[in-house]
Amino acid sequence: MIYKNYPMVSRVIFGRGSFNQLDEILASKRKGRNAPFIFYVDDVFKGNHWLTSRIPLSYKDKIIYIPTEEEPKTSQIDKLVEDIILEFSELPSGIIGIGGGIVMDIAKAVSLMLTNPGESKDYQGWDLIKNPAIYHVGVPTISGTGAEVSRTTILTGPDRKLGINSDYTPFDQVVLDPELTKGVPKDQWFYTGMDCFVHCVESLDGTFLNAFSQSYGEKAFELCKEIFLSDTLTEEESQDKLMMASWHGGMSIAYSQVGVAHAMSYGLSYLLGIKHGIGNCIVFDHLEEYYPEGVAMFKQMKEKHNIELPQGICAELHDDQIDIMVNVALSLEPLWENALGKNWKTKITREKLTTLYKKM
């Protein structure tokens, strides 16, 4: 047996208000006056003085606001990298992503592509990155994806939606300040929070499970139950705990894999542009056959928070469109192997996936 030797986030700061320390965290990483820090910030924070006034800017540092209607594309990353190369005489001192999974993934991908030649689509896959990234920092403002801790950055390319998975992808520094999540709208809080819940279920029910993944997965699962089903937490406690659940959920899948919901959700996202959190919810709602207990609990959570998921999104699709989604889902082989075991190909068919998609 060959075991994988995974990198982790090198430094993490946790606490309400810890974002105030960004200045001192970055100071020692500055490479010079001409090597700026580039801050990618979710454009929901444009004009939000409470947050932006604390972004420490000097010399040629720059804030770039990122719209988040759509998930990151490889072409978008290539453009952002080109913009930096054209505008500055030196490589940046660091790239900082302040936002949800979208902005954090953009920060990771840009930091990798500044030091690796060619186009980002050529690096979608596992361990194709050869050179270390620029110093990069993740500051989540919504909790659940685990993007702050993972070794991937998920991009939609011309041919597929697939991560750049590499040892250089994880952040060098993460700032976990739960207070930054206070403005998240309720529905989005639920969708992104459920991404974490689904990570736990898929990891804990998967065939790749081991004590490493289990210990993180169980903790995250327990926190999700408390956050989404109990009535005992204050809003602040709930924010603190969801931030840690996201971290643990991400750690859990680091040493295992996700499963059926993620595979199918990638199909929805690729064809219809449905975002990760809500896509997982739409799919997971129909997976009682694979995750009976997890889906029952998910339905309880959905009801408790009065969440109405879109229905019938695939009802009008043509067969060739469904085929595209089935192809995307089935191409994610490690996810199926984790969910169904080594001989997964005998357990899941195109017909089965088509039937499931048509229910959504």
Scored b (16 or more CB within 10 A) or e, 46-80 reads eeeeebbebbbeeebbbbbbbebeebbbbebbbeb
The interface region with Zn ion, picked from 161-169, 193-201, 207-215, 345-353 by CB under 5 A, is 193-201
Q: Which of 93, 94, 105, 111 binds ligand NAD (CB under 6 A)?
A: 105
Judged by CB under 6 A, the stretch of 28-36, 115-123, 147-155, 291-299 that binds ligand NAD is: 147-155
Q: Interface mask (CB under 5 A) for Zn ion, residues 158-177, using x and -?
A: --------------------
Single-letter code of the amino acid located at 224? C
Q: Binds 150, which of ligand NAD, Zn ion, none (CB < 5 to 8 A, cut-off by type)?
A: ligand NAD
Tell me the number of residues near Zn ion by CB under 5 A.
1
Tokens describing residue 126: 């596992």
Q: Six-digit token pair at 276?
A: 């990760």
The one among 100, 206, 217, 279 contacting ligand NAD by CB under 6 A:
100
Q: Report the residue from 68, 74, 93, 166 that binds ligand NAD according to the rule CB under 6 A.
A: 68
Cα distances (Å, whole numbers) of residue 174 to 22, 50, 181: 10, 20, 15
Of residues 99 and 294, the one with the C-beta less far from ligand NAD: 99
Helices 292-304, 276-284: inter-axial angle, 10-degree rounding: 120
Q: How many residues touch ligand NAD (CB under 6 A)?
A: 31
Query: Does 150 engage in binding with ligand NAD (CB under 6 A)?
Result: yes
| Under rule CB under 5 A, residue 195 binds Zn ion | yes
Closest to ligand NAD by CB, 187 vs 226, is: 187
- Least distance from Zn ion to the Cβ atom of residue 187, Å: 17
Which residues are within 8 A (CB) of 179 and not within 5 positions of it... i.e. 6 or more apart? 16, 17, 19, 239
Helices within 91-166 (DSSP H only) = 101-113
Residue number with CB closer to ligand NAD (184 or 329): 184
Interface with ligand NAD, residue 277, by CB under 6 A: yes
CA distance 9 to 262: 23
Minimum CB separation from ligand NAD for residue 70, in Å? 9
Per DSSP (E only), the strands in the chain are 11-14, 37-42, 62-66, 94-99, 125-126, 136-140, 154-156, 161-165, 173-176
Q: Please say which residue, 36 or 100, places its beta carbon nearer to ligand NAD.
A: 100
- Closest CA relative to residue 136, chosen from 102, 179, 104: 104
Name the residue with tokens 């200045």. Answer: 23
Based on the shown chain and the rule CB under 6 A, indicate whether residue 71 belongs to the binding site for ligand NAD: yes
Q: Is 192 in the site for ligand NAD (CB under 6 A)?
A: yes
* Residue choice 275, 284, 285, 332 for contact with ligand NAD (CB under 6 A): 275
C-alpha 23/C-alpha 10 separation (Å) is: 18
We find the least distance from the C-beta atom of residue 142 to ligand NAD, in angstroms, to be: 4
Backbone angles phi, psi at 335, to 5 degrees: -70, -40
- Residue 137 interacting entry, from Zn ion, ligand NAD, none, C-beta within 5 to 8 Å by type: none
Interface positions with Zn ion (CB under 5 A): 195
Interface positions with ligand NAD (CB under 6 A): 42, 44, 68, 71-72, 99-103, 105, 141-142, 144-147, 150, 152-154, 180-181, 183-184, 188, 192, 195, 275-277
